[in-house]
Chain A
Amino acid sequence: MKHLLGIRQLEREEIEAILRQAEAFKEVLERPIKKVPTLRGKTVVNLFFEPSTRTKLSFEMAAKRLSADTVSISKSMSSIEKGEDLIDTVKNIKAMKTDCFVIRHPATGAAHMIARYTGCPVINAGDGINEHPTQALLDCFTIKEHFGGFKGLRIAILGDIFHSRVAHSDIMALKKLGAECVVAGPGTMLPPHIEVLGAKVEYSVKKAVKGADCIICLRIQRERQGGIPLFPSVREYANFFGLYPEVLEFAKEQAVIMHPGPINRGVELDPQLADSSRSLILDQVTAGVAVRMAVLMMLLSARETL
């Protein structure tokens, strides 16, 4: 593995290896001194062309726990529109002898492009509406910790599947690991041909949730929709596509709830359910740091052995 660009490029064995490594690092996070010297002297550059406090913080935390130095660059959309050349920017930063790029960008394929034009390892922290592989890996990690494995699990993903890179990566990862995946949401948010990724499509949320072991609710991002609204009102969305106790009824008794955060409480997820014992939302956050440590270590130390 030279880069982490998407789940699509990963083999099942590679995913499993990352999850195993993350397990070891999660243990480190429980220690009183939560730091290992693994990446001492390495510099990780976080390039965030889209606002994301959580993901950026999680990557920074992961790098620091591994004793790497981190530099973060946040750029607003406006400077890209002014014609700032991404390849050029990255080549310049690389010339300062950095070791790894973590990139979040509003354009699909931006991380792939950087990987092609620089020799540096690149981690995709979300590109356009395409993929968000580390989120999928931390979701898988959380599910594995809870259930012990993936075989026979039914996972329902609810909401804006079209615009959600989390959904795209989750479906591919869960499918590769052997879980069954079903998606539901407003028809306007279910992209045509989604079954190519291996997900089953349901138009009724209750049907999707039926018999599910785990339900992943996605954040409604009205800002991503542009032009014509894709659903008539937040109220209608909550009523028909949100996860509330009466919908959860249809799932397995022990079913758990996940959410990539931040949550619109009372829209896609019932406020009480979000804080209930069935929620794994905070476990996901912890898993995020462990998984990102694993990815950073595997990419950067793999380079060392060359």
Chain B
Amino acid sequence: MLTVFLTNCRIIDPYNHKDEIGSIYIKDGKIEGVGPDVPEPEQCPKLDLKGKWVSPGLIDIHCHLREPGEEYKETIDTGTMSAVAGGFTTICPMPNTKPPNDCAAITRFILDRARAVDRARVLPIAAITKGQKGEEITEFGDLISNGAVAFSDDGVPVKRANVMRLALEYSLNFDCVIISHSEELELAGNGVINEGKMSILLGLRGIPNAAEDIFVYRDIRLAETTNGRLHIAHVSTKEAVKIIREAKERGVKVTCETAPHYFSLTEDAVDGYNTLAKMNPPLRTEEDRLAIIEGLKDGTIDCIATDHAPHSILEKECEFERAANGIIGLETALPLGIELVRNGQLSPLKLISLFTKGPSMVLNLDFKGFKVGEIADLVIIDPEREFTVTPESLYSRSHNTPFLGRQLKGRAIATVYHGKCSFDLDGMLSSCERRS
């Protein structure tokens, strides 16, 4: 367990609405003191973290770990390594594994693997419908009893409105959130990128914003009808932000997330048939990008999720139309978020809140932030640290990211999960750890 006195750090704790310079005393993995005037303990390793941020461990409520089924892309082992390298101590894998996580046996398998690795908290999201086929809802009760934290058919929308309605109604019994992958499939058609300037210039079939907007409205309307809790995954359009904002104003129980690529990139990134920028929903226009940032600022968007979607080179080095959707994101999310801070669009506290308290509230998690007596769960961030994204620099098993070759600024330099150091870029914490 870790014993260390972190001092001179900027403590950013959205759970307790604090952003102050102070110290954190961790003893045997537990927080013994936190704040501006914690006395320095005797005979304790001390780390001066001047200029660094210390935040509760980040939470990603939307990622893909590919195990079971596609271990050549990612495993729970490599995926959690990628997570802690990105500052995340809690991650929620989506159920579209092979087979999909639609029954307690699979949920248990994932949890067992995660426990064996013991590097980060893995909270599985189970499928809404059996086999993610959109027909019959899964055993919500049994799945929750076995460790599932929410339900989603991510990867595919629940096509039939009545099935979505049933799921929202049934969720009331278990007070769980239903996560919507909002995509009107017929409108999306054979589209592979945003319908707009680039779809014309590249001669690729486009997906109109309306494909997302219509579905967002449908599910919000169903949440309103049922009083169920709805969460919209990977919001990418201006209109969707507006629909969600209005629904929140009239009291609908709806939350949503966006992913870093939707506030960092536009459709221009696919030029040259760059399959590394192919994803679903597709990268949109500058207007949409700015609306997403606006939604983050005004609280319409509750959290930033990575939608970490590993794919091997086999799925990406092919004709654009055949290439798989998705990019990895666990290790680039924080630096891309910090870019918003540097641009003056978000305060550090707001940004960290989108990565911690925001997702925690969506999932009703019982996290308290930095409190004396709690097990240490935190990340040390150097907002000035620069690094170049290269295949060698990534911990994920896959390297499918449009940020390859880009220099990013700001990153997690150490991550503490469950009182132990699970990532230590410069080896600064290793001397403070005592195995017990």
Contact = CB atoms under 8 A, between A and B. Distances in A.
A170 interface: no
A24 to B, nearest CB: 31
A302 interface: no
B202 interface: yes
A24 B342 CA distance: 59
Interface residues of A, number: 27
A86 B196 contact: no
A197 B203 contact: no
Interface stretch (A70-78, A186-194, A241-249): A186-194
- Interface size bucket, B side? 20 to 34
Interface in B39-68: none
A194 B319 CA distance: 23
Contacts of B201: 8, 196-197
Contact of B319 (A8, A113, A226): A113
A63 interface: no
Interface in B196-236: 196-197, 199-206, 208
Contacts of A197: 200-201
Given A113-B273, A192-B195, A193-B196, A87 B318 contact: yes
A180 interface: no
Given A8-B201, A112-B272, A196-B201, A107 B196 contact: no
Contact of A193 (B197, B273, B318, B321): B197
Interface string A1-32: 00000101000000000000000000000000
Q: Which of A112, A193, A226 has the most CB of B within 10 A?
A: A193
Interface in B280-337: 317-322
Nearest to A194: B200
Interface string A191-203: 1111011000000
A109 B192 CA distance: 12
Q: Which of A109, A128, A129, A130 has the most CB of B within 10 A?
A: A109
B contact patch SS? loop
A191 B195 CA distance: 9
Contacts of A176: none
A108 B204 CA distance: 6
Nearest to A113: B319
Contact of A113 (B206, B208, B318): B318
Given A112-B273, A193-B195, A130 B203 contact: yes
A117 B322 CA distance: 16
A128 B204 contact: yes
Contacts of B196: 192-193
A108 B200 contact: no
Interface in A80-110: 85-87, 105, 107-110
B197 to A, nearest CB: 5
A131 B201 CA distance: 10
Nearest to A87: B317
A168 B203 contact: yes
Contact of B200 (A87, A196, A226): A196
A107 B200 contact: no
Contacts of B195: 192-193
A213 interface: no
B199 A193 contact: yes
Contact of B322 (A107, A131, A193): A107
8 contacts: A6-B203, A85-B318, A109-B204, A109-B320, A110-B319, A113-B319, A130-B203, A191-B199
Interface of A: 6, 8, 85-87, 105, 107-110, 112-113, 117, 127-131, 165, 168, 191-194, 196-197, 226
| Among all A-B residue pairs, the 4 with the closest Cβ atoms | A130-B203, A107-B319, A109-B273, A109-B320
